[in-house]
């Protein structure tokens, strides 16, 4: 951390400054700009950008290409504004053998993300400004054009669930939100006080919903599969109890709360209650909860171990319905890299989690293909919805917006393997699988990063 010391304390906002000075002009022709962007209507468009900002975006033929522009023929490929992942673990500082900020952001760029939020369960925990400053400085140094890194500060000191972390100091250093992700906060009084204190600094709390008293020694979802195989399981009630707790606290305190990695039907039903009352509750789910169920654990497959665990088919159905109906409005990856030796273990020893940054778009795009989402809703869930909850500036193709966008070929097929993945780790149940849909080019601040 020492070589970045000079940067500590100088970062005043969550968004590191981009270097400027160098001029560059882009003109993208015949791109299918996502129909969610106002005024675009889904037809072929041309986009011009200069010095990292959008100049104009209009239906093809309406704009005059600037004479000095690098012209990029897009041939009718889909052009999306760079996405935002509100839930990653970049393992830096402390566990750089799994991932570091350099490789994590590289993976993000290849996955279509222009910004990621990184959880606080590093070593040391991001519960003090020095850690936050180290993270943002390293990101700015290694990826000066982006993807941008928004650290999430620890909600409690050491993530121990006892004393609130120094959120004022952390917010000033650049923490975008606060969370105890990975462990949750068992004690409701502590959680309530943390919600109130975070609000003082204009920050929202992200809760990892899990009642730990209901899950002693759990290695997977409790249900038919765990019962048959004799594997200790955690019931969906452990998640839903804390979802209910947070919804009621949000209403009582009139404060927003964001619920991380929602995985089960009962939580969806509680989110319906919150939506009907118009409460300030937002929720995310991850690609794996929409596509995989706990049947994957039947052969004791530790590659499928994750927390919250993969649930039953019924839960998967309910989550897909919740995404379709907008009860869950945000996608996130919960990118959680682990080394091979940490996953190739019996179930009790294997660590929880999957990498997700580079597989997320092709996986969630299957919901578009399945007719559950249109492209506008798909984009909203990865882009404007999380940006609105966390107050992160994103590209809407309006003049002056950051020139952050990527081309996506929904039909290109590729295999998840060491040669295609930029993350340091390969822990994903999709390893070896062929996925359909790929980010073929990505610009951040007008610079080509992929």
Partner 1 sequence: MSDIRWRHKDLLDTAELSASEITCLLDMAERFDEINARPVKKVPTLRGKGVVLFFAEPSTRTRTSFEVAGKRLSADTYALATSGSSITKGESLRDTALTLQAMAPNIIVIRHSVSGAAAFLAERLSCSVVNAGDGRHAHPTQALLDAFTLRRHWKGDMRGKRLLIVGDIAHSRVARSNVFLWQKFGVGVRVFGPRTLLPPGIRDWPVEVHDNLDEALAGVDAVMALRLQLERQQAGLLPDLSEYARHFCIGMRHLEKAAPDAVVLHPGPINRGLEIASDLADSGRSRILDQVAAGVAVRMAVLFTLGMRGTSMQEAFEEPGQGAAGA
Q: Which residues bind partner 1 (CB under 8 A)?
A: 216, 222-233, 235, 299-300, 341, 344-349
Least separation in angstroms between residue 338's CB and partner 1 is 14
Q: Provide the β-strand partners of residue 25.
A: 50
Whichever of 139 and 297 has its CB closer to partner 1, that residue is 297
Closest to partner 1 by CB, 310 vs 330, is 310
In the complex, minimum distance from the CB of residue 427 to partner 1, in angstroms, rounded to a whole number: 15
User: Which listed residue (181, 211, 334, 401) is catalytic?
Assistant: 334
d(CA 115, CA 4) in angstroms, rounded, equals 21
3 vs 348 by CB, closer to partner 1: 348
Pick between residue 195 and residue 225 the one whose CB is nearest to partner 1: 225
* 373: preceding bond cis by omega (within 30 degrees): no
Residue 339 Cβ, how far from partner 1 at the closest point, in Å?
A: 12
d(C-alpha 179, C-alpha 409), whole Å: 35
Sheet holding 330-331, edge to edge: 83-88, 113-118, 148-154, 177-179, 204-207, 257-259, 281-285, 330-331
Q: How far is the CB of 241 from partner 1 (least distance, A)?
A: 17
Mode of pairing for the β-strands spanning 83-88 and 78-81: unpaired
- The conformation of residue 348, written as its DSSP 8-state character, comes to T
For the CB of residue 365, give the shortest distance to partner 1 in the complex, in Å.
33
Distance CA(318)–CA(198), nearest Å, equals: 32
Nearer to partner 1, 341 or 400 (CB): 341
> How many angstroms separate the Cα of 179 from the Cα of each of 47, 156, 195, 338?
38, 8, 10, 21
Active site residue 334: yes
CB-based contact 447:440 (threshold 8 Å): no
Chain-centroid distance, C-alpha 229: 32
Q: Would you say 170 and 142 are in contact if contact means Cβ atoms under 8 Å apart?
A: no
Annotated active-site positions, please? 334
């Amino acid at each position: 951390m020492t070589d970045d010391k000079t940067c500590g304390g100088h970062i005043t906002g969550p968004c590191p400054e981009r270097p400027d000075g160098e001029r560059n002009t882009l003109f993208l022709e015949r791109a299918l700009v996502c129909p969610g962007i106002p005024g675009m209507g889904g037809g072929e468009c041309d986009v011009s950008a200069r010095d990292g900002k959008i100049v104009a975006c209009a239906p093809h033929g309406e704009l005059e290409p600037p004479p000095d522009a690098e012209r990029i023929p897009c041939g009718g490929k889909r052009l999306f504004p760079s996405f935002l992942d509100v839930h990653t673990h970049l393992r830096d500082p402390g566990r750089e053998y799994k991932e570091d900020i350099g490789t994590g952001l590289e993976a993000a760029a290849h996955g279509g993300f222009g910004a990621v939020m990184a959880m606080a369960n590093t070593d040391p925990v991001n519960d003090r400004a020095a850690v936050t400053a180290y993270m943002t400085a390293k990101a700015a140094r290694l990826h000066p054009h982006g993807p941008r890194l928004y650290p999430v500060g620890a909600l409690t000191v050491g993530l121990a669930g006892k004393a609130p972390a120094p959120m004022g100091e952390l917010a000033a250093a650049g923490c975008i939100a606060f969370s105890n992700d990975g462990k949750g906060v068992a004690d409701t009084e502590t959680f309530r006080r943390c919600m109130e204190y975070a609000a003082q600094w204009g920050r929202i709390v992200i809760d990892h919903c899990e009642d730990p008293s209901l899950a002693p020694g759990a290695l997977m979802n409790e249900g038919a599969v765990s019962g048959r195989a004799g594997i200790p399981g955690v019931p969906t009630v452990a998640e839903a109890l804390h979802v209910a707790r947070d919804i009621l606290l949000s209403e009582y305190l009139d404060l927003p709360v964001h619920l991380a990695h929602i995985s089960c039907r009962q939580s969806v039903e509680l989110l319906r209650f919150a939506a009907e009352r118009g409460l300030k509750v937002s929720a995310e789910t991850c690609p794996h909860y929409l596509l995989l169920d706990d049947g994957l654990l039947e052969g004791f497959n530790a590659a499928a171990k994750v927390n919250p665990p993969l649930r039953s088919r019924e839960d998967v159905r309910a989550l897909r319905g919740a995404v379709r109906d907008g009860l869950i409005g945000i996608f996130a990856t919960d990118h959680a890299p682990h080394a091979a030796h940490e996953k190739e273990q019996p179930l009790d020893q294997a660590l929880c989690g999957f990498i997700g940054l580079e597989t997320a778009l092709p996986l969630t795009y299957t919901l578009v293909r399945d007719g559950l989402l249109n492209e506008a809703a798909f984009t909203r869930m990865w882009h404007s919805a999380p940006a609105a909850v966390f107050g992160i500036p994103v590209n809407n193709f309006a003049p002056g917006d950051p020139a952050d966008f990527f081309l996506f070929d929904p039909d290109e097929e590729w295999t998840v393997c060491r040669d295609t993945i930029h993350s340091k780790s390969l822990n994903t149940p999709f390893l070896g699988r062929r996925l359909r849909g790929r980010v073929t080019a990505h610009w951040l601040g007008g610079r080509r990063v992929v």
